[in-house]
Amino acid sequence: MVLDARIPSGPIEKKWDRARFELKLVSPANKRRFNVIIVGTGLAGASAAATLAELGYNVKTFCFQDSPRRAHSIAAQGGINAAKNYRNDGDSIFRLFYDTVKGGDFRSREANVYRLAQVSVEIIDQCVAQGVPFAREYGGLLDNRSFGGAQVSRTFYARGQTGQQLLLGAYQAMARQVEAGKVQVFPRTEMLDLVVVDGRARGVVVRDLVSGEVSSHAGDAVVLATGGYGNAYYLSTNAKGSNVTAAWRAHRRGACFANPCFTQIHPTCIPVTGHYQSKLTLMSESLRNDGRIWVPKTKGDKRPPNEIPEEERDYYLERRYPSFGNLVPRDVASRNAKAVCDEGRGVGPTGLGVYLDFADAIARLGRETIAERYGNLFEMYEKITGEDPYRVPMRIYPAVHYTMGGLWVDYNLMTTIPGLYAIGECNFSDHGANRLGASALMQGLADGYFILPYTIGDYLAQHLGERVTTDHPAFAQVESEVRERYHKLLNASGKRSVDSFHRELGLLLWDHCGMERSQKSLETALAKIPELRQEYHDNVKVLGSAESLNQSLEKAGRVADFFELAELMCIDALERRESCGAHFRIESQTPEGEAKRDDERYSYVAAWQRKEDGDGWTAHKEPLEFEYVQLTQRSYK
Amino acid sequence: MNLTLYVWRQAGPGEPGAMKRYDVPDVSPDMSFLEMLDVLNERLLERGEEPIAFDHDCREGICGSCGMVINGRPHGPQRKTTACQLHMRHFRDGDSIYVEPWRAAAFPVIKDLVVDRSAFDRIIEAGGYISVNAGAAPEANVIPVPKDDAEAAFDAAACIGCGACVAACPNGAAQLFTAAKITHLGLMPQGQAERQRRVVKMVAQMEDEAFGSCTNHRECEAVCPKGIAITTIARMNRDYLKARLFGKG
């Protein structure tokens, strides 16, 4: 297989224009002859469904939640970036592009990132027109704030609920198309496999989570907008239902999976309290605008934070990175937090925590301003911990948050299976080895509103009238495979719950393929994962039947796929013997302990193809070429 | 802490259900309510009993998936807090806790604590949007929005669609949910063109569903985890009246 990224030629600022001109168009009258299947209804999926329907295509959309409005994009707090330069502080499309490529530690595709920066400005226009209640200044114009990895203020926000408001905008745009009869929504319906006919994606097999019925849907193209795989670690900031099954099943049918080891650990999450912990809660990165991060200078200092005098505190980010201070990118902030905790200077009952302190900001700006900016986050913190962050510094610790890796896509967002597209977090394309804050919302909406709706036409135009229906034997074959998988899980009649296995797998990944990785840790994980996976299939206990609502069975299927993915994550991490962004190989660091890239050998995207016999993977490499950004050792000092 | 739970168990839609007693020992005060249910479910599984089904997803109080009546109150005893954000430190050792699904004609039970809230989606589909196609939007700063209007719109837009308002209402009415969206969009300048049409269509859909009518009990406001105010209902009624009397809705 040759990976062809299909990047248009010409200067970078003209590539997207050129692509739009060269892509084949589907005439307005023909659009209604095409059916597009979209899986997932988060920012990417809902915006794509709405836009494709507006263009005239017929859309079917699927989500496992009881309503498309509940997709996990809703939990994004801080904001969305756009190169509007409303602050007059020197921002531009090129600067957003540059910051994103640098923030990703030079492991993303220049052309994709430039396009993302270009359409970012249109996203804000679109969302404002939909009535999204963004934060405003007294003059009525849009307000901005700063985020990590940038020295300009380009983040638009709606209190600490930006994801919610943007998702409701996309959900409502989609609801309008439901009313118009162009979108059909299937809630509480999970995609369990992809149907490929003659090498092209022609439909999906889904399970109705209420009745348990397994059925098929055929379409002219399939779009996956199914989010990331952070829940492989069990504990993450993802919603409990977030899973990799749709993407993984597509991978098993031939779609290459790119850079699976690029997983982002977010620095500001509420620390773990006990073994019963079911998930971790993020505290928005925007808090780092006004909060100062510190630990005691002395090991094992157990005094309450307010009794530790100023001169005995170590504001370690401000000390080590004077120009970016508390606003260094996520990977840098996370590793530094781990380092001070490993030194024994961590705070809180477990010693795995650092302070995020608002005392100075409250003294400078007043409690009211802080409440206006972060009120809901402070409330949420207090609900979970029982502590009031207006009076006591927050305690935070890094947690798995976002996955930069995902299905490999070309410039048109098509995977290596013709007719199968991947958008939003579930593709690998824009964030390299580390995503900057407020860029996930930007990418999801860029893909859904402004990129996929054009690029998908190019494929469809070439296949007018080539209809496949669910009567094709491939559908019955895939359906029976799906049923068999579920019956195996139900019939294992073992002794251990799905959650107990998932926790064990998650801990194994966190310890061996988490914030730091080494050859030794990865080899250990690769020896243990297959054993644990085998035990899972022999000894898992799932009660109930497949013919009704069965939440244990849903989880069991998802965890089975996480087991397979976990192995590939470790293989990818092992093969990439350099550090870059969130992928930190302890063998490869600068004298100051920063990630040290090896551009000579690893300036590529690793795209993994599963072998036909299911025994292992073949690695493909898409070389990354940088014409507009000079590769440097990232410095935020 | 040691607790006694009484939980509604119902095998499927239309099946008879009943409250079932479970003793739950060793509960940590730092657990969330749903984590306490997770622990109970693990123990049920060990004993060979089917776990309790309940909706949940983000566990951060924003997706609106979770919803259960805890000791007679939707989302439980803590104000402005969803069940997933309720922590066990708000209960005492030895407490008995009663857990039931939303009870409303428009939200039929699917299993145990899981109900069907799709009526909410149909209300939004009837008109809870501003009609603008991707690509057609004007420059974002062309229309200034007074800060106070944007803030008030946000307060209404904060609705998470959980359905607690309906569950708390003695009439099972959906006025607060519907009014929150009408208020959000009606306060934004972008929402003016469709304001009358929107309120008429959304109210019509609300009335077509199995919801009751509002008789000003204010129970909805008291239990709303996002603190949506019933002044939104007054605004909806005013908009509706205007549209029906003078408008083209």
Final residue before a domain boundary, out of A350, A372, A400: A400
CATH of residue A369:
3.90.700.10
Final residue before a domain boundary, out of A378, A400, A422: A400
Among chain B residues, the shortest Cα distance to A68 is held by B121
Percent of chain A with pLDDT over 70: 100
Residues B121 and B96 in one domain: no
Distance from CA of B171 to the nearest CA of A (A): 24
Contact (Cβ atoms closer than 8 angstroms) between residue A301 and residue A351: no
Residue B248 confidence (pLDDT): 64
CB pair distance less than 8 Å for A274 and B30: yes
CATH of residue A542:
1.20.58.100
CB pair distance less than 8 Å for B127 and A179: yes
pLDDT above 60 (res B58): yes
Residue A308 confidence (pLDDT): 97
Partner-chain residue, chosen from B57, B89, B141, that has the shortest CB–CB distance to A86: B141
Partner-chain residue, chosen from B30, B50, B58, that has the shortest CB–CB distance to A74: B58
Residues B107 and B125 in one domain: no
Which residues, 6 or more positions from A58, have their beta carbon under 8 angstroms from its beta carbon? A32, A34, A35, A36, A182
- A40: amino acid identity, one letter: G
Residue A586 is assigned to a structural domain of this protein: yes
Top residue of B37, B117, B120, B124 to mutate, by most chain A CBs within 10 Å, is B124
Contacts of A543 in chain B (CB under 8 A): 45, 48-51
β-sheet bridge partners, residue A620? A607
Residues B169 and B185 in one domain: yes
The closest alpha carbon to A131, from B175, B159, B249, B187, belongs to B187
State the pLDDT confidence band at A125, using cuts at 50, 70 and 90.
very high
Residue A371 is assigned to a structural domain of this protein: yes
Residues B38 and B107 in one domain: yes
CB pair distance less than 8 Å for B144 and A277: no
Expressed as residue numbers, the domain containing B222 is 117-246
Residue A376 confidence (pLDDT): 83
Residues A290 and A385 in one domain: yes
Alpha helices per DSSP H over chain B: 33-46, 118-125, 147-157, 164-168, 175-187, 195-208, 219-223, 231-246
Active site amino acids of A: 330
Expressed as residue numbers, the domain containing A561 is 474-599
Residue A330 is assigned to a structural domain of this protein: yes
Top residue of B28, B41, B49, B57 to mutate, by most chain A CBs within 10 Å, is B57
Residue A633 confidence (pLDDT): 84
**Is A56 buried (19+), middle (13-18) or exposed (0-12) by CB count in 10 A?**
middle
- What's the CA angle centered on A420, arms A31 and A230, to 5 degrees? 130
Number of domains in chain A: 2
How many CB pairs below 8 Å do chains A and B form together?
214
Final residue before a domain boundary, out of B84, B111, B138: B111
Distance from CA of B87 to the nearest CA of A (A): 7
- Helical (H) or strand (E) element with A622: strand A617-623
Side-chain-facing half-sphere of A115: CA atoms under 13 Å? 27
pLDDT above 80 (res B77): yes
State the pLDDT confidence band at A593, using cuts at 50, 70 and 90.
confident
Residues B178-206 have pLDDT tens digits of 999 999 999 999 999 999 999 999 999 99
Contacts of B120 in chain A (CB under 8 A): 67
Contacts of A159 in chain B (CB under 8 A): 154
Percent of chain A with pLDDT over 90: 93
Contact (Cβ atoms closer than 8 angstroms) between residue B74 and residue B222: no
Residue A187 is assigned to a structural domain of this protein: no
Residues A364 and A487 in one domain: no
Furthest-apart CA atoms within chain A: distance in Å: 75
Residues A495 and A584 in one domain: yes
- Mean pLDDT estimate for chain A: 96
Mean pLDDT of A584-590: 96
Residue A636 confidence (pLDDT): 84
Residue A61 is assigned to a structural domain of this protein: no
pLDDT above 90 (res A373): no
Residue A349 is assigned to a structural domain of this protein: yes
CB pair distance less than 8 Å for B38 and A278: yes
Contacts of B59 in chain A (CB under 8 A): 239-240, 278-279, 281
Top residue of B141, B178, B200, B202 to mutate, by most chain A CBs within 10 Å, is B141
Number of domains in chain B: 2
Residues B110-167 have pLDDT tens digits of 999 999 999 999 999 999 999 999 999 999 999 999 999 999 999 999 999 999 999 9
Is this prediction's ipTM beyond 0.85?
Answer: yes
Residues A280 and A395 in one domain: yes
Q: Measure the CA–CA gap between A399 and A45, rounded to whole angstroms.
A: 26
State the pLDDT confidence band at A442, using cuts at 50, 70 and 90.
very high
Q: How many residues does chain B have?
A: 249
CATH of residue B14:
3.10.20.30
Contacts of B124 in chain A (CB under 8 A): 69, 171-172, 175
Residues B162 and B189 in one domain: yes
Residues B121 and B102 in one domain: no
Residues A462-511 have pLDDT tens digits of 999 999 999 999 999 999 999 999 999 999 989 999 999 999 999 999 99
Whole-Å CA distances, A506 to A46, A322, A502: 30, 35, 6
Residues A63-93 have pLDDT tens digits of 999 999 999 999 998 899 999 999 999 999 9
Final residue before a domain boundary, out of B86, B111, B136: B111
Contacts of A497 in chain B (CB under 8 A): 42, 45-46
CB pair distance less than 8 Å for B120 and A66: no
Residues A305 and A391 in one domain: yes
Residue B14: other Cβ atoms inside 10 A? 8
Q: Measure the CA–CA gap between B124 and B202, rounded to whole angstroms.
A: 7
Partner-chain residue, chosen from B51, B111, B144, that has the shortest CB–CB distance to A141: B144
Final residue before a domain boundary, out of A369, A400, A431: A400
pTM over 0.80: yes
Q: Which is more confidently placed, A96 or A160?
A: A96
CB pair distance less than 8 Å for B133 and A51: yes
CATH of residue B205:
1.10.1060.10
State the pLDDT confidence band at B242, using cuts at 50, 70 and 90.
very high
Residues B209 and B234 in one domain: yes
Residue A372 confidence (pLDDT): 84
Residue A258 is assigned to a structural domain of this protein: no
Distance from CA of A320 to the nearest CA of B (A): 33
Residue A312 is assigned to a structural domain of this protein: yes
Q: Which is more confidently placed, A145 or B236?
A: B236
Contacts of B40 in chain A (CB under 8 A): none
Final residue before a domain boundary, out of B111, B142, B165: B111
Residues B125 and B218 in one domain: yes
Residues A275-290 have pLDDT tens digits of 999 999 999 888 998 9
